[in-house]
Chains A and B, each alone.
Chain A
Amino acid sequence: DTAVSQTPKYLVTQMGNDKSIKCEQNLGHDTMYWYKQDSKKFLKIMFSYNNKELIINETVPNRFSPKSPDKAHLNLHINSLELGDSAVYFCASSPGPASTEAFFGQGTRLTVV
């Protein structure tokens, strides 16, 4: 059983399109995150939700909108995709917002052409 699963694993799309990445965790955790890893391999947090409430919102363009329908799911919707959005996006979860350990998914490689 995959603890944190993301779909799709690969996503290739054209500039200007709108796309979504889905994330689900079966660990019973309250807190979920989206991280972005750019071409230079830097990993940066984008958002965090705790029990469906947004608790961390880093400086991310408004084109990125997370949605948490329940505490086991955190989806990422991206509008008007740009070339610079190409990256690997990781979903993660932790038992709570102050937990010491976060569990990461396998990542979604987004390529914008």
Chain B
Amino acid sequence: DAKTTQPNSMESNEEEPVHLPCNHSTISGTDYIHWYRQLPSQGPEYVIHGLTSNVNNRMASLAIAEDRKSSTLILHRATLRDAAVYYCILRGITGGGNKLTFGTGTQLKVEL
């Protein structure tokens, strides 16, 4: 699986939007972009995924660059409960099983 690069940490104020960037310059044409998050003392939790088009769900939005070399996870209104480590992961559709390769992620801190 291709590698991703994320900032180590970001800070946000509550009720404000958060844009979490991810660079994946070596992405291949069949790689999906997945985002997971891990709250303190919890297992990872699926957030969203996409291939080429921007995606929205109840948790977040995913904006994918036209050349697919980068993407941004958007939390529209951050709450204290969104404080977590956010992982951007690439997964090829031909991979054997759901072999998620987690990087170091971005630690998101949310303040009042």
Contacts and interface: CB of A to CB of B under 8 A. Distances in A.
Interface string A88-113: 00101010011111111111000000
Contact of B44 (A43, A56, A97): A43
A99 B43 contact: no
Q: Which of A31, A104, A107 has the most CB of B within 10 A?
A: A104
Given A92-B43, A105-B43, A106-B43, A56 B32 contact: no
Interface in A32-54: 33, 35, 41-45, 48, 50
Interface of A: 4, 31, 33, 35, 41-45, 48, 50, 55-56, 90, 92, 94, 97-107
Contact of B97 (A4, A50, A90): A50
Interface of B: 32, 34, 38, 41-46, 49, 85, 87, 91, 93, 95-102, 104-105
A100 B49 contact: yes
Nearest to B107: A41
Given A104-B43, A104-B44, A107-B43, A55 B32 contact: no
Nearest to A94: B98
A31 B97 contact: yes
Contacts, number: 68
A37 B96 CA distance: 21
Contact of A104 (B32, B34, B45, B93): B45
26 contacts: A4-B43, A31-B97, A33-B97, A41-B85, A41-B104, A41-B105, A42-B104, A43-B38, A45-B100, A45-B101, A48-B97, A48-B98, A48-B99, A50-B97, A90-B43, A92-B43, A97-B96, A98-B95, A98-B98, A100-B34, A101-B49, A102-B100, A104-B43, A104-B45, A106-B41, A107-B41
Contacts of B91: 100
A102 B46 contact: yes
A45 B89 CA distance: 13
Given A41-B85, A42-B102, A43-B102, A55 B43 contact: no
B81 to A, nearest CB: 17
